């Protein structure tokens, strides 16, 4: 439980936006940025925020142990069903149970990460974990492999307290990031590190609709959707439990790149229906596949890349041509 009032972290967010760390994600800036600092702007009667975490970790290997150059890597959170639907349904059931148990009626509103709310900050104040140097919420016993959701309610409840920060002097996540997306803030009393989305592999492979900068592409490696590296190397995830929820059973984790490159738009929609991977959109996904093939530098990918280079979509074609240049520079 956290109070439905502005938190100290709301003072840091404008500085993050002003630094350009939101990159081209317009939904994180402007008026929606102003709304994020106060839950009462989402529901005027809100007095408390009930914060929940939903474990999604699975027992399959981490991306840092991934060595097969013929395969592409999909971020762990996207291996199963779309978590938005799963969390919304769980929060709806929670709201119904609370209403059944309450002597007085109350208003409520469900928020998952599409709502303009500083959910990690409220989850921290609700005692679910601390915000690590990788900017993920870390729970001491469960690590960081969980989704966050919130239920705004119009009744007052005793708030919980944030746990201590237990990252200490560890810099595993910072050192491991291939594109150096975790940057020091230099802000006394504030978060020591921030995520620069304009250098983040997850941003480039999910949110960006245009060209991945040439200087970033080598760092993307085999990632075709999202990136888990800063969580994979986190010591707090070494003993993280695994989920038993069938919604997060693995569909695809590391599919063959040749198979992905051959997908039609209809194939893409069928393969990733009700999956977070839909977020990248077909052209963005093929762009990512081309970059991963270029980074693999395998001559066997040449026919697939030549087909992509002939694509009528200029975004896909340009990245495929870049990938072909990588084959020519270092054939294998």
Active site residues: 113
Helix, strand, coil percentages (3-state) for the chain, rounded to 5, are: 45, 10, 45
Half-sphere exposure (Cβ direction) of 141: Cα atoms closer than 13 Å: 3
Best CA proximity match to 282, nearest among 274, 292, 272, 291: 272
Euclidean distance between CA atoms 79 and 64, whole angstroms: 17
Residue pair 163/129 in contact (Cβ under 8 Å)? The answer is yes
Best CA proximity match to 161, nearest among 192, 130, 116: 130
48-55 and 2-3 beta bridge pairing:
antiparallel
Residue pair 124/130 in contact (Cβ under 8 Å)? The answer is yes
Cα angle for residues 204, 208, 210 (degrees, 5° grid)? 110
Euclidean distance between CA atoms 91 and 78, whole angstroms: 20
Helix (H, G, I), strand (E, B) or coil at 177: coil
- Facing residues of 152 across strands? 49, 109
Residue pair 74/226 in contact (Cβ under 8 Å)? The answer is yes
Residue pair 269/87 in contact (Cβ under 8 Å)? The answer is no
Burial of 332 (0-12, 13-18, 19+ CB in 10 A): exposed
């Amino acid at each position: 439980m956290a109070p439905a009032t502005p938190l100290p972290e709301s003072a840091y967010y404008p500085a993050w936006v002003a630094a350009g760390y939101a990159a081209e994600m317009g939904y994180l800036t402007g008026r929606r940025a102003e709304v994020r600092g106060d839950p009462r702007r989402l529901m005027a009667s809100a007095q408390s925020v009930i914060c929940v975490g939903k474990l999604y970790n699975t027992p399959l290997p981490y991306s840092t142990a991934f060595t097969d150059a013929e395969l592409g890597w999909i971020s762990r959170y996207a291996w199963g069903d779309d978590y938005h639907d799963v969390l919304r349904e769980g929060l709806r059931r929670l709201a119904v149970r609370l209403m059944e148990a309450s002597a007085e009626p109350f208003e409520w509103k469900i928020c998952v990460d599409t709502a303009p709310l500083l959910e990690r900050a409220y989850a921290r104040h609700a005692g679910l974990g601390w915000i690590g140097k990788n900017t993920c919420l870390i729970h001491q016993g469960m690590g960081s492999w969980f989704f966050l959701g919130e239920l705004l309610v119009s009744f007052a409840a005793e708030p919980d307290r944030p746990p201590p920060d237990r990252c200490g002097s560890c810099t595993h996540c910072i050192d491991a990031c291939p594109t150096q997306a975790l940057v020091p803030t230099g802000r006394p009393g504030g978060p020591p590190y921030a995520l620069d989305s304009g250098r983040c592999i997850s941003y480039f492979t999910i949110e960006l609709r245009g060209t991945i900068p040439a200087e970033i592409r080598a760092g993307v490696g085999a990632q075709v959707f999202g990136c888990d590296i800063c969580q994979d190397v986190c010591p707090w995830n070494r003993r993280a439990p695994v989920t038993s929820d069938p919604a997060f059973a693995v569909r695809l984790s590391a599919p063959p790149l040749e198979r992905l490159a051959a997908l039609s738009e209809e194939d893409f929609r069928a393969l990733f229906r009700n999956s977070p991977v839909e977020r990248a959109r077909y052209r963005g996904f093929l762009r990512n596949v081309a970059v991963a093939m270029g980074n693999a530098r395998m001559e066997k990918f040449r026919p697939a890349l030549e087909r992509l280079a002939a694509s009528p979509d200029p975004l896909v074609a340009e990245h495929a041509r870049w990938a072909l240049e990588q084959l020519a520079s270092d054939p294998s």
